[in-house]
Chains A and B, each alone.
Chain A
Amino acid sequence: GESVGLHLPTLSVQEGDNSIINCAYSNSASDYFIWYKQESGKGPQFIIDIRSNMDKRQGQRVTVLLNKTVKHLSLQIAATQPGDSAVYFCAEKDTDKLIFGTGTRLQVFP
C-alpha cells in the first residue's frame, strides 16, 4: 500500500544552525502535503503545506521543498532555536484523510 516515511528518526543540531528534515512518499498521485510539529505532551500543530504543483514554499523561518521526481519532501528550519525542539511529521493527503509518517525528533543543543 501507499506509505509516507522519514529517513532520520532523530536529528541533533546546534542552536543557530539550519535543520533539514526529510520525508519520502510513495504515492506519486498525491497532490498535497503538510508538515506538523508536535511538542512533548501536545497535539500536532500545523507548520506549512505545499501542493504538488509547487516545488517550494516558504514560511517564517521554514521552507518546504517538494521533489516529485524522486517523491521526496523536506522541511528546512533556518536558525534553529531551542523552541524548535519537537517531533516533526510529514503527512500526505489521501482523499478525505491524511497519512502520517513516523516522525523525526529534532533536538537542539546550545
Chain B
Amino acid sequence: NAGVTQTPKFRILKIGQSMTLQCTQDMNHNYMYWYRQDPGMGLKLIYYSVGAGITDKGEVPNGYNVSRSTTEDFPLRLELAAPSQTSVYFCASSSLDFPPNEQFFGPGTRLTVL
C-alpha cells in the first residue's frame, strides 16, 4: 500500500490564482482530513469527510473548498489564493476499524502565495 499520497509536493502561486491540492489513499479509509501547518505551529483542521459525499468544516475553512466523490480521493481547492494561505498542507485518513482516529498522514504540500 502506498498509504496517503499528495500532489504536488511544492507549488508557488500568485495572489488570486487558483489550484487544487490532490490527496489519495489506498487503505479504504472512511475518514479523510485536510490540515494546514504554519511555520513553528501545530496542525489546524481545514475540512474533513466521514465518507464519500459527506464533508464538514473544520477550524479554518475560509478560502477553501473540498469534495469527496470517491472513498479514495479528497481534493482541496483554493479559489483565490492569498498570502495568508502560504503554509504546508497535510492530508490524512483513518478508518472506523482502527483504534479510534489514528490518522495516517501524507507527506505534505508546501504552498507559497506571492
Interface readout for B1-40 with A: 1 if CB under 8 Å, 0 if not? 0001000000000000000000000000001010100000
The answer, yes or no, to whether A102 is at the interface (CB within 8 Å) is: yes
The answer, yes or no, to whether B43 is at the interface (CB within 8 Å) is: yes
A-B contact count (CB 8 A): 52
> A102 is contacted by which of B42, B90, B99, B104 (Cβ under 8 Å)?
B42
What separation, in Å, do the CA atoms of A102 and B58 have in the docked complex? 17
Judge whether B43 and A49 touch: CB under 8 Å.
Answer: no
Interface residues on B, range: 20 to 34
Shortest C-beta distance, A53 to chain B (Å), equals: 13
Given contacts A42-B108, A44-B105, A93-B101, contact A100 B48 (CB under 8 A): no
> B43 is contacted by which of A32, A42, A93, A100 (Cβ under 8 Å)?
A100
Q: Given the complex, which residues of A lie within 8 Å of B100, measured CB to CB?
A: 32, 93
Interface residues on A, range: 10 to 19
Q: Given the complex, which residues of B lie within 8 Å of A96, measured CB to CB?
A: 31, 48, 50, 56, 101
**B49-103 CB contacts (< 8 Å) to partner A:** 50, 56, 58, 90, 92, 99-103
Q: Which residue of B lies closest to A9 (CB)?
A: B40
Partner-B contacts on A (CB < 8 A): 32, 34, 41-46, 49, 89, 93, 96-98, 100-103
